[in-house]
Amino acid sequence: MIRETLLLALRAIRRNVLRSSLTILGIVIGVASVIAMVTLGGGATAQVSSEIASLGSNMLQVRPGQGFHGPGGARSAAPSFDRKDVEAIRGQVYGLEAVAPVSTAGLQAVSGNRNWSTSVLGTTNEYFDVRDWPLGSGRIFGEGELRSGKAVCILGTTVGRELFGDGDPLGASIRLEKLACTVIGILASKGQTSFGQDQDDVVIIPLRTFQRRIAGSTDVEAVYLSALDGVSTTSVKQDIEGLMRERRRIAEGKDDDFHVRDMQEIVTALTGTTRVLTALLGAVAAVSLLVGGIGIMNIMLVSVTERTREIGIRLAIGALERDVLLQFLIEAVVLSSFGGIFGILFGLLMALAGARAMSVPFILNPGIMVVAFLFSVAIGVAFGYFPARRAARLDPIDALRHE
Amino acid sequence: MNGRPDAAADAWNGVLVAFSGIVKTYGMGDATVHALRGIDLVIRRGEFLAVMGPSGSGKSTCMNILGCLDTPTSGTYLFQGIDVGALSREGRALLRRHRLGFVFQGFNLLNQSSALENVELPLIYRGLQPRERRRKAREALEAVGLLDRQSHTPGELSGGQQQRVAIARAMVIEPALLLADEPTGNLDSGSSREIMELLTAFNEDRGITIVMVTHDGNMAAYANRTIHFLDGRIDSEVQNGDEPT
């Protein structure tokens, strides 16, 4: 019985190919956009996560002030760190792989007649370990250079390209405001962060050089550190918080005047954003699925009217209400499932093209395909029921008389 | 249920259909239409009954009630001892499915389906397996002489052939009662004669009870008995060969 009904539905759909395709267009578009959005969203999330892993997933940052407060907030009031804080963290927190003090400034870098606005970062060699960032060429700082604050620098690839073009910057001299320093190394390229920031747009100099020649103070802006493999960043974070509260004499119950940021936090914030975006687009897609469902209902109603005589014949020769109901319901479900299948295929194509265009990885999500398909089936049932019931309730005498 | 008369029906002394005081009205108040004004009618098994009368005389309403497509406003309709008036819509549909065959003036075949598929249709609703269904449908088509046209759609068949397919569809369930509503109304005289000979053969050889509405006295002559409707009542009744009473 089901088999016959299914064949019947397929035949009815084939009889009106154009109409059937237009009917399912709404479902196709709805399902396609869900599939495309979720697939692209999944790809983007995966990319963000992998980018953050490239920042160093076991990395933590300690900064004075609270969290993401802007200038003028708690940050300005909070005392900054200095070398002793760095040594305390290094000495007293268990499970650290590397600890790097960092100070930054936005400066103009000049070489000959070229100049380039970049960010200058004063730190120690441990920074390269924390960021897991090898040199592309040249060498890291020598012990003496770090201790005495020599005017040497390591360039990010972007700065190297902007100042020297195709030429080799190694051994050349660049000027950072009044500080003339010799280029001793070039970092390997790291690319953009997911915030769109060019990580290679940086000049790294010894911290002491930075403090004496640029900042004019012994302050340390932030401490970057990385945990050893297998050590939980959460426990490291707690240890640092305890230590810093003690060192900064923060009374019980008072808020921290510093912030330990763990990369996991950023991952959560970012994936949270993508999730909100996906949910929003999902809502739009749901609306288009609803519209698609109404389209199916509309066409099924037309179909019932057109086939009134056929329904009359079926009822007269012994079809029960439920036989007719099933016939039209199955037809609606077959229609909407076709919409679902085409929508999935179309959505995957869209996602593939989108992933190429946005250079995001294309990650298949079988779960959402199953959900989208079941959803389109459910739409067929929901919107096919009313027309099918109307067909089933027809009076055979009137239906047979219908022209 | 099956297509054959059961023990209870046999106990009814060969009476297939018994109408007593059947009244059918449509509408309400001043607009009330009295389609049937009290019909008493007995149809015996194996009978071939012709129903005549002008339009609006109530014969179509009578056929609809006989065919369990409609229910009387009052009165009792017993079909093989079953009180049809007490049946639900579904019960009447099941009665149609198992006991009744319909032949219409306008053939009422499914235009997109082949002759064979049209004949198979009632068997699908009876839940027969495809193989069994096809065998029975072929037999029925063979009985009306159209086995060689089984894969043609109605549009590819002449009117007479279409009506023969419709008869095969009605006969395939071996009905207790075959209802034919002006089966020759749309046909030329040659085809009409073929159809009537087919119906007569089914009636005589297989003992199928037939009730046929017709406007044509020549067609009514094939029946055993003719009843005339007038203004919702049975006006006269003629046994074949007898003079009108």
Cβ-nearest to A318 among B96, B104, B108: B96
In this structure, the dihedral spanned by the alpha carbons of residues A385, A389, A392 and A396, taken in order and rounded to 10 degrees, is: -140
> Does the beta-carbon distance from A321 to B112 stay under 8 Å?
no
**The pLDDT value given to residue A121:** 92
Q: Which residue's structure tokens are 């009636």?
A: B203
For residues A33 and A284, is the Cβ–Cβ distance under 8 A?
yes
CA-nearest residue to A307 within chain B is: B110
Kindly indicate the confidence band of residue A54, based on its pLDDT and cuts at 50, 70 and 90: low
> Does the beta-carbon distance from A320 to B126 stay under 8 Å?
no
Which of A204, A227, A256 is a domain's end point?
A: A256
| Alpha-carbon gap, residue B23 to B32, rounded angstroms | 13
Q: Would you give the DSSP letter of residue A179?
A: E
| Alpha-carbon gap, residue A336 to A293, rounded angstroms | 8
Q: From chain B, pick out residues whose CB is under 8 angstroms from the CB of A15.
A: 112
By the CB < 8 Å criterion, does A312 face chain B?
yes
Which sign does the torsion angle of CA A201, A206, A211, A214 carry?
negative
**The pLDDT value given to residue A74:** 44
Q: From chain B, pick out residues whose CB is under 8 angstroms from the CB of A4.
A: 124
Do A273 and A242 sit in the same domain of this protein? no
**The pLDDT value given to residue A70:** 44
**The pLDDT value given to residue B173:** 92
| A159 has pLDDT over 60 | yes
**Structural domain count, chain A:** 2
pLDDT digits (tens, 9 = 90+) for B168-198: 999 999 999 999 999 999 899 999 999 999 9
Q: From chain B, pick out residues whose CB is under 8 angstroms from the CB of A397.
A: 64, 69-70
For residues A65 and A287, is the Cβ–Cβ distance under 8 A?
no
DSSP H helical ranges for B34-149:
59-66, 89-99, 115-125, 130-143
Q: Give residue B158's identity as a one-letter amino acid code.
A: S
Do A207 and A242 sit in the same domain of this protein? yes
Instruction: Using alpha carbons, list the distances in angstroms from residue B138 to B172, B183, B191.
Output: 9, 22, 22
Summary mean pLDDT of chain A: 86
Do A195 and A84 sit in the same domain of this protein? yes
**The pLDDT value given to residue B36:** 92
Reading the block at residue A103, the tokens are 């100070």
H or E stretch at A135: strand A135-138
By the CB < 8 Å criterion, does A101 face chain B?
no
Site from A10, A317, A398, A401 to mutate, B interface, most B CB atoms within 10 angstroms: A317
Q: Would you give the DSSP letter of residue B29?
A: G
DSSP for A240-264, please give it.
HHHHHHHHTTPPTTSPPSEEEEEHH
**The pLDDT value given to residue B222:** 93
What CATH number should be reported for the domain holding residue B14?
3.40.50.300
Do A307 and A354 sit in the same domain of this protein? yes
> Does the beta-carbon distance from A317 to B104 stay under 8 Å?
no
Distance from CA of A396 to the nearest CA of B (A): 7
Do A304 and A387 sit in the same domain of this protein? yes
Tell me, yes or no, whether B187 lies in a domain.
yes
pLDDT 10s per residue in chain B (245 long)?
A: 444 445 554 555 688 999 999 999 988 888 888 999 999 999 999 999 999 999 889 999 999 999 999 999 999 999 998 999 899 999 999 999 999 999 999 999 999 899 999 999 999 999 899 999 999 999 999 999 999 999 999 999 999 999 999 999 999 999 999 999 999 998 999 999 999 999 999 999 999 999 999 999 999 999 999 999 999 999 999 887 554 44
Cβ-nearest to A397 among B64, B96, B121: B64
**The pLDDT value given to residue A364:** 87
Do A249 and A324 sit in the same domain of this protein? no
Do A94 and A133 sit in the same domain of this protein? yes
**The pLDDT value given to residue A195:** 63
Q: From chain B, pick out residues whose CB is under 8 angstroms from the CB of A320.
A: 90, 93-94, 97, 125
Tell me, yes or no, whether B119 lies in a domain.
no
In this structure, the dihedral spanned by the alpha carbons of residues A96, A101, A107 and A112, taken in order and rounded to 10 degrees, is: -80
Grouping H, G, I as helix, E, B as strand and the rest as coil, residue B224 is coil
- Please report, rounded to a whole number, the percentage of residues in chain A having pLDDT higher than 90: 34
**The pLDDT value given to residue A77:** 64
**The pLDDT value given to residue B65:** 94
Do A113 and A206 sit in the same domain of this protein? yes
Q: Which residue's structure tokens are 């198992």?
A: B98
Give residues with Cβ within 8 angstroms of A249, minimum separation 6. none
User: Nearest 5 degrees, angle CA A210-CA A211-CA A215?
Assistant: 90
Distance from CA of B32 to the nearest CA of A (A): 19
* Of A207, A166, A159, A208, nearest in space to A187 by CA: A159
> Does the beta-carbon distance from A317 to B102 stay under 8 Å?
yes
pLDDT digits (tens, 9 = 90+) for A254-268: 888 888 888 777 777
| Alpha-carbon gap, residue B115 to B169, rounded angstroms | 9
Q: Which of residues 321-340 of A touch B (CB under 8 A)?
A: 321, 323
How many CB atoms are located within 10 Å of the residue A232 CB? Answer: 12
Interface residues from chain B to A (CB-CB < 8 Å): 64, 67, 69-70, 89-90, 93-94, 96-98, 100, 102, 104, 108-110, 112, 121-122, 124-127, 169, 173
Q: From chain A, pick out residues whose CB is under 8 angstroms from the CB of B173.
A: 318
pLDDT digits (tens, 9 = 90+) for A77-112: 678 888 888 888 888 888 888 899 999 999 999 988
Q: Which residue's structure tokens are 């306008």?
A: B106
Kindly indicate the confidence band of residue A42, based on its pLDDT and cuts at 50, 70 and 90: confident
Sheet containing strand B15-26, strands side by side: B33-44, B15-26, B74-79, B82-83
Tell me, yes or no, whether A353 lies in a domain.
yes
> Does the beta-carbon distance from B104 to A400 stay under 8 Å?
yes
Kindly indicate the confidence band of residue A71, based on its pLDDT and cuts at 50, 70 and 90: very low
Q: Write down how long chain A is.
A: 403
pLDDT digits (tens, 9 = 90+) for A288-301: 888 888 989 999 99
**Structural domain count, chain B:** 1
Tell me, yes or no, whether A262 lies in a domain.
no
Reading the block at residue A327, the tokens are 């016939």
Do A301 and A223 sit in the same domain of this protein? no
Do A243 and A282 sit in the same domain of this protein? no
By the CB < 8 Å criterion, does A256 face chain B?
no
Distance from CA of A298 to the nearest CA of B (A): 23
Q: Would you give the DSSP letter of residue A220?
A: B
Mean pLDDT to the nearest integer, A357-372: 87
H or E stretch at B35: strand B33-44
Tell me, yes or no, whether A156 lies in a domain.
yes
Do A245 and A278 sit in the same domain of this protein? no
**The pLDDT value given to residue B151:** 94
Q: Would you give the DSSP letter of residue A79?
A: P
Domain that holds residue A282: 2-51+268-401
Domain that holds residue B21: 7-113+158-239
